Structure 1
């Protein structure tokens, strides 16, 4: 019987391996930028065309490569960073596994020009499908220029899975920002299709953060800086008033490497406890420096997920550092003129928080003591895991369904399932011309022949708008009313790329938005049935909601947009409605084929039948 197991040819093996490292043009951007940083460059330029599909070029003024090194750099697992196994546990550079250039060469056409400062001539290498097509001496500036052209040209199936240009450009901008934030002392620029998107002069970390996030944050950043024998934490968190309803700008770096960590994110969230709303997310750019032997950065191909030797200590440090920074920020006394005059005179309000008082408060915390004293890093006292016991609750994304409760005197009867969802056909049971009642400016009570309906006005309106917008995106466009005074909105680069992608779908929903310059847009028209005057906030909030709406791949871009718009424009709980408005909500709700639930599955109303009401009163 013939043997059936055989080794894969090199070109196929390389393409399979490349899939781990180069998933999209942004993956190559990350690897090439990190290589430029490792080369000691002080000036790094990124140039992309067609969102990186036709060209990704990185030009740096680093130390360059010799002719032999330039050729060797494209071999798999060829690296200058690791010579012995111990080196793997003391990694201080960005790239180290020697897979980046080999992976790029396996799925693209690559051109490399490089010259060491002391050499007279540089080296030019052209590679296609892992094969060296040309290698020759050339004139070149000191440093390295590497071009990746026509990514996935030899793997058409992979190329077909790339998203639209605005979507891919957004990923490139994200990777660019992460590297640029890590190294504020280096000049970075990003040019897309000949238009400069970023021009980031070398400077301090705060200057770099403001350059990227926007000047509006200049006075809204709180400095975080704590140094211990075990680890250092530094960076910035946004003041509580910068918190957003959706996940905003949140960056964690360990030894200057961007990482994703829901665990450490939770540490920051708990530090903001009681300072921001529970459904809000703070802004932060935080750097952790610690001994490389305390972490494993090789657990994931993109190196964005790492393992800590003792993550509980890291969690406690991050939480304490952010709490301390926020405490420092809020020690200045302020007067609230809406307070009663007698309250204004209380010591807690009128007298400043002295240094002695501050020291006595911080010193009383055992966590703070171990955090600041030398050689006490591993002696944080256990407090029944008080900092950690609720962290898993943070990941329960969906709100628990609230059961209706009715209280009579001291007895509470819990209503947990005896209600029935109304099928659409029973909507005729609503008594025609009956007077509707609004309860707590949130619920509409509508009498029926056999009881009453309790309609949640916001969820019901969300269902109505979702159906209307879905219809609009599938052909029946919503009419647009031209604005007499068009409004201009300016967005960060990554948000601008996203909005570019949404413009056609927004037009079907009645919003005429046109590009205006680099990252600016002009709102020329809005839906005819929407109140005017708040267009700029509407677009900004829409982009923010869309960015973080759902990572679930089952939702298309259009579906996400429709859900965001329905949620955003629905009348809110707490809003007073007239009799006519309540009637309109109830009537339009029951025109839907799925009137009983919102797009996310929450009930829009509950029916209370007469026989059940009788049983509640023991009748």
Structure 2
């Protein structure tokens, strides 16, 4: 008697359900994807007891013809593909034909649907079999209800987490679907209470505001990039808004939500040094590409994909994020009171989502337009969160550019060349700032037409030194010879390591020799060590290298740059005169990214004139 036999279809569906239906949120995801493929303009999701009691999804899609309805719960029954070639041209959300069969195997399902060219139908499916087939209501679209999930697989119930956790998973799925399909209106009801509603007008920034709030949407920066194989669009949020985990990085391929560690890391790398290492950004990116170069048929959940040109895509995503942030002024405003911010959010009458935030070019007067507009316009834009008051108790006098620091311009003086033509202005990262003093020997106070600014002098010099070291470490040069070599003594447990890595030090530009059991002499050090007393920095580099396993300059270039920049930067309670403060600001303005220190802390924060006047009750609402 043969031992091998084909399993009963009911058992097959239960086995498949183990991969497709992991938890209530998996059911929600599969049902929403079916609604999207049906061309729905509105999708309503309702759950009770976090989906364990009931999940209901209603859409206004094209519906299902009556003759096709009995096939819905058959395994691998689908209208999305017809032959093996279609697997390389997948543009629909679903295509495997497993979802409803798997859901029906472990739950009680009621489905009501109507196609415009067919009669309405109502099916009840329970534990792998149709238990009722009757006429339905005349309503375009599909209404499907899932009850008592895992009622016949009690072992699965033990692995379902708390109701709060499961509800959070459902919310996450609906939010990601809404972000990937802004042209569809999504509504989420939990135990009869509306938790989310999106407009469905195709405005992604409006959806970001619906999900994360207007204050986050104000800081969202549009991104777009294209290569021969990929087209990237979406928004990234300025680095002053952070989250404690990666879940707020939303990635989609051809509007299909995916999880991909390398792509997520590419976005994080694009925020290089702009955020602390333990914080993560908010981003919503969609990558359009030919279906032939992406394989979505990796796992039944369809969130894991494979790319044929993964390295090119990772590089494009990282460069796109970095370039978008490079074009922005990343000076954060002082945080407002949470309750007031929520009140302002509720009272906000209108928000212009199509308007991109910008700043005035430095070196321009308040009324002068240059590239991104005037200083006054920049102060009124959503990114600066300045609002026009309803009533002012008195008018403020125009800002005066007194004590202005001159900047050298190529080809002539500040006022122009000898022929009277205006010189070309070099693009500056920071707006024009006038230094007005120092606070506690730690913070430099500045002002311009839009308000007051505070600069952390230690963080500013850290950024300046970090970019210098990162740029110059391992550059070819003759180095700095010493007439009298420096002699260093190290503990015996470090000597063995230094002996092993002495060639790494020589590759960096050091001439170092062992002169005793624990002593080393340095007769030449690289050009990039530029301090009045380089001996301490040389010792720090040697110590840094001997505590790194398998040291490589390329691998540890950033870490070494951070270490070098932090040691000799201005500390707190160090008083500077006006000339020193101006020199520090001038050097910071030449940095590639002058907004954060290498550790991700802000260098400059802003308090707008509106916020200051409101605190002094000079603005009456």
Give TM class, smaller chain.
0.5 to 0.7
Structure 2 vs 1, CA of residues 97 and 279 (structure 1 numbering), >3 Å: closer, same or farther? same
The yes-or-no answer on 1:411 pairing with 2:489 is yes
- 1:473 corresponds in structure 2 to none
The yes-or-no answer on 1:188 pairing with 2:266 is no
CA contact (8 A) 1:250 1:285 kept: yes
- 2:136 corresponds in structure 1 to 138
Structure 2 vs 1, CA of residues 129 and 327 (structure 1 numbering), >3 Å: closer, same or farther? same
| Structure 1 residue 285, shift from structure 2 partner | 0.7
CA root-mean-square deviation: 3.0
Structure 2 vs 1, CA of residues 3 and 196 (structure 1 numbering), >3 Å: closer, same or farther? same
Q: Distance in 2 between matches of 1:133 and 1:248?
A: 40
The yes-or-no answer on 1:243 pairing with 2:242 is yes
| Structure 1 residue 189, shift from structure 2 partner | 0.4
Map 1:275-424 to 2 at 5 A. Answer: 275-330=274-329, 332=359, 333=361, 345=407, 410-413=488-491
Q: Which has the larger radius of gyration?
A: 2
Please list the CA deviations of residues 57-113 of structure 1 after superposition, one character each: whole Å capped at 9, or x if unmatched. Answer: 100010011112111111100010111111110100001110001001100000000
- 1:108 corresponds in structure 2 to 107
Map 1:493-572 to 2 at 5 A. Answer: none
Map 1:21-40 to 2 at 5 A. Answer: 21-40=20-39
| Structure 1 residue 4, shift from structure 2 partner | 3.2
CA contact (8 A) 1:186 1:201 kept: yes
Please list the CA deviations of residues 113-167 of structure 1 after superposition, one character each: whole Å capped at 9, or x if unmatched. Answer: 0001244x30000011110101112223110001111001011111222111111
CA contact (8 A) 1:25 1:52 kept: yes
Structure 2 vs 1, CA of residues 85 and 3 (structure 1 numbering), >3 Å: closer, same or farther? closer
Q: Distance in 1 between matches of 2:244 and 2:131?
A: 53
Map 1:83-94 to 2 at 5 A. Answer: 83-94=82-93
Q: How many residues align?
A: 363
| Structure 1 residue 414, shift from structure 2 partner | 7.5
Map 1:6-21 to 2 at 5 A. Answer: 6-21=5-20
- 1:222 corresponds in structure 2 to 221
Any stretches of 5+ residues in structure 1 without a counterpart? Answer: 336-340, 359-407, 417-573, 576-619
Q: Distance in 1 between matches of 2:426 and 2:254?
A: 35
Q: Distance in 2 between matches of 1:355 and 1:346?
A: 11
Map 1:471-490 to 2 at 5 A. Answer: none
- 1:53 corresponds in structure 2 to 52
TM-score (norm 1): 0.55
The yes-or-no answer on 1:200 pairing with 2:198 is yes
Q: Distance in 1 between matches of 2:255 and 2:4?
A: 43
The yes-or-no answer on 1:234 pairing with 2:241 is no
Q: Distance in 1 between matches of 2:103 and 2:87?
A: 23
| Structure 1 residue 294, shift from structure 2 partner | 0.7
CA contact (8 A) 2:88 2:292 kept: yes
Structure 2 vs 1, CA of residues 247 and 412 (structure 1 numbering), >3 Å: closer, same or farther? farther
- 1:5 corresponds in structure 2 to 4
CA contact (8 A) 2:198 2:210 kept: yes
| Structure 1 residue 180, shift from structure 2 partner | 1.0
Q: Distance in 1 between matches of 2:2 and 2:291?
A: 46
Any stretches of 5+ residues in structure 2 without a counterpart? Answer: 330-357, 364-402, 416-422, 428-485, 495-570, 573-621
| Structure 1 residue 356, shift from structure 2 partner | 9.3
